[in-house]
A and B are shown apart, each in its own frame.
Chain A
Amino acid sequence: MNNGATVHLAEVRTGWLRSLLAGLRIQARIIAALILREVLTRFKRQRLGYVWAFIDPCLHMAMWFVLFALIRGPRQYHDMPTFMFLATGIVAMYLFFLKTTVYVAGAVSAGRGLLRFPMIKQLDPVLARFFLEAATMVVISAVLLSAFTMAGLGAGPYNLLGVLMASGCLLLLALGFGTFNSAMTILYPSYSRFLYFVYRAIYFSSGAIHGTERLPAEVQRILVWNPVFNGVDQFRSAWSFTYESTLTSNGYILLVAGFFFLAGLVLDKRVLQVELGE
């Protein structure tokens, strides 16, 4: 009898595991189909799409580099060469966070017709866009930063693992914030105007394009609440031996990312109460 119960329990376990695996397989298939569809639509819209993806961050770096040179003359930031200081900041703030989160935030409104397929839930287009954009950004950053290092514009990463960890945290923050915003823009259409202001504020306040060492302590204490500031700081301190991180941590970024992601999931339920993609 005892034996029978054990067998029964084992069956329940394998049944549960099997259905979980089957579910994951279907999920993977759906997300793969969505990614392929996304690549196709993007590529068709602009054939220069992927070339532009490389040029765009370079323009940001070049613009700030020229401005820095004109206004302040040659100097070092946190003992990093100015160009490398800007390049790491733009990669961390602009590529890993801002570009990714803007793209993820548009997932549900761009793919509302998809929701009529019963197996596709709101999170699927969000995840598809995230995986695609994250992979793209990792490739672009790796190519650009290696090229700059080889061109002698600055030293390579001092702590590669730390660089990868900070990048991962920023990408997850982009996912969390994007999930939240994709639901918010559907629930409150005027929210997107406010959001553009937030994006701009993040661009200028995350430490990517300004050194923090000369800022007053009170300002630093305020900036530390910005999770993207944390990401940029962590990224640079892992990249450069001389850059010392201020009061920032990857854990804080993950905490904020998780909060926004969960809030996004709750709002997703409300989105379905408003209307289906008609």
Chain B
Amino acid sequence: MIRLHDVTKYYGWGRETKLVLDGIDRELDTSSSIGILGMNGAGKSTLVNIIAGALPPTSGYVERHVRVSWPLGLKGFVGGLTGEENIRFISRIYGADRRKVFRFVQDFSELGDDLFRPIETYSSGMKSRLTVGVSMAIDFDVYLMDEGLSVADRRFTKRYSDVMNQRLDRSSLIIVSHNMNTVSRYCTRAAVLHGGKLSTVMPLHEAASLYNRLADRGADFQP
């Protein structure tokens, strides 16, 4: 269970401040995966970073009763270092056995010799496989997935989804995205982030219709 207590987030300081999250007070039942739908600029990344504990809210706090991953996305790697060196670094900061983590990623990501090449030569699909691989090798109860991570890659191999489903028996995901398809692949429940507020977590089809209504109304406002 993750509980957000009146979480408010402003960016900027002095006269130019921007309210991104407006007093979100929600309980997220993490026994199964949750999707968070939001349009571009709705504050999805901010919310995920706050849930992870990477970013402090301006006011309010987050209560976590589960082990939460870092916000998994395409960033956070050192481009000049190889995949293997990045795995070593992440294992070290989480105090995980780096040989075990490396073997798992080697097995799972099918990156082969690319693991010994610098990250800056990776495609976004390769980066996704590396990120997901490393995080799955370390035990988390909740995996936070930022948008852009191609969890539902077209070249999604059977092995990849097998491991993922096996993982999801014990853990769950919180996926933030502007894309319904990404969310529907793993979640049966979702919430909508709009105007700094987070809706309750509801069945996916309800969330989808709320999200579409909001998106349409937004489209109306565009000249």
B78 within 8 Å of A by Cβ?
Answer: yes
Interface string of B92-112 (1 = CB under 8 A from A): 110100000000000000000
B89 within 8 Å of A by Cβ?
Answer: yes
B186 within 8 Å of A by Cβ?
Answer: no
B71: A residues at CB distance < 8 A? 116
B12 within 8 Å of A by Cβ?
Answer: yes
Secondary structure class of chain A's binding surface, majority of residues: helix
> Is A29 in contact with B93, judged by CB distance below 8 angstroms?
yes
Find A114's partner among B46, B76, B88 (CB 8 Å cutoff).
Answer: B76
B10 within 8 Å of A by Cβ?
Answer: yes
B156 within 8 Å of A by Cβ?
Answer: no
B54: A residues at CB distance < 8 A? 115-118, 276
The size bracket of the interface on A is 20 to 34
> Is B12 in contact with A113, judged by CB distance below 8 angstroms?
no
* A116 and B93 contact, Cβ closer than 8 Å, known pairs A273-B10, A273-B13, A276-B55: no
Minimal beta-carbon separation of A109 from chain B (angstroms): 14
Minimal beta-carbon separation of A108 from chain B (angstroms): 14
A120 within 8 Å of B by Cβ?
Answer: yes
Name which of A31-39, A132-140, A240-248 contacts chain B: A31-39
B56 within 8 Å of A by Cβ?
Answer: yes
* A272 and B55 contact, Cβ closer than 8 Å, known pairs A40-B85, A116-B49, A278-B45: yes
Interface string of A13-41 (1 = CB under 8 A from B): 00000000000001001101100110011
Q: In the complex, A278 Cα to B54 Cα: how many Å? A: 12
Minimal beta-carbon separation of B144 from chain A (angstroms): 10
Minimal beta-carbon separation of A25 from chain B (angstroms): 9
B93: A residues at CB distance < 8 A? 29-30, 33, 117, 119-120
Among residues of A, the one whose C-beta sits closest to the C-beta of B10 is: A273
Minimal beta-carbon separation of A43 from chain B (angstroms): 10
Minimal beta-carbon separation of B210 from chain A (angstroms): 27
> Is A29 in contact with B52, judged by CB distance below 8 angstroms?
no
> Is A116 in contact with B78, judged by CB distance below 8 angstroms?
no
Minimal beta-carbon separation of A256 from chain B (angstroms): 26
B19 within 8 Å of A by Cβ?
Answer: no
How many inter-chain residue pairs (CB < 8 Å) link A and B? 70
Among residues of A, the one whose C-beta sits closest to the C-beta of B68 is: A118
Minimal beta-carbon separation of B165 from chain A (angstroms): 26
A276: B residues at CB distance < 8 A? 45-46, 49, 54-55
* A116 and B76 contact, Cβ closer than 8 Å, known pairs A29-B93, A33-B92, A37-B81: yes
> Is A272 in contact with B56, judged by CB distance below 8 angstroms?
yes
B89: A residues at CB distance < 8 A? 33, 36-37
Find B80's partner among A30, A44, A120 (CB 8 Å cutoff).
Answer: A44
A29: B residues at CB distance < 8 A? 92-93, 95
Q: In the complex, A272 Cα to B50 Cα: how many Å? A: 11
Among residues of B, the one whose C-beta sits closest to the C-beta of A276 is: B55
Among residues of A, the one whose C-beta sits closest to the C-beta of B71 is: A116
> Is A274 in contact with B13, judged by CB distance below 8 angstroms?
yes
A270 within 8 Å of B by Cβ?
Answer: yes
A45: B residues at CB distance < 8 A? 80
Q: In the complex, A251 Cα to B67 Cα: how many Å? A: 45
A275: B residues at CB distance < 8 A? 11
> Is A118 in contact with B70, judged by CB distance below 8 angstroms?
yes
B75 within 8 Å of A by Cβ?
Answer: yes
Among residues of B, the one whose C-beta sits closest to the C-beta of A26 is: B95
B9-23 interface (Cβ within 8 A of A): 10-13
Q: In the complex, A10 Cα to B184 Cα: how many Å? A: 53
Interface string of B16-57 (1 = CB under 8 A from A): 000000000000000000000000000001100100111110
Interface string of A63-86 (1 = CB under 8 A from B): 000000000000000000000000
> Is B81 in contact with A273, judged by CB distance below 8 angstroms?
no
Q: In the complex, A272 Cα to B55 Cα: how many Å? A: 7
Going nearest first, the 4 A-B pairs with the smallest beta carbon separation are A33-B92, A118-B53, A116-B76, A118-B54
What are 13 of the A-B contact pairs (CB < 8 Å)?
A29-B92, A29-B93, A29-B95, A30-B93, A40-B81, A116-B54, A117-B90, A118-B53, A270-B13, A273-B12, A274-B12, A276-B49, A278-B45
User: Which A residues are closer than 8 A to B by beta carbons?
Assistant: 26, 29-30, 32-33, 36-37, 40-41, 44-45, 113-120, 270, 272-278
If A44-B81, A273-B11 are given as contacts, then 16 extra A-B residue pairs at C-beta distance below 8 Å, sorted by A number, are A30-B93, A33-B92, A33-B93, A36-B89, A44-B80, A113-B78, A114-B76, A116-B70, A116-B73, A116-B76, A117-B54, A118-B52, A120-B93, A273-B13, A274-B12, A276-B54
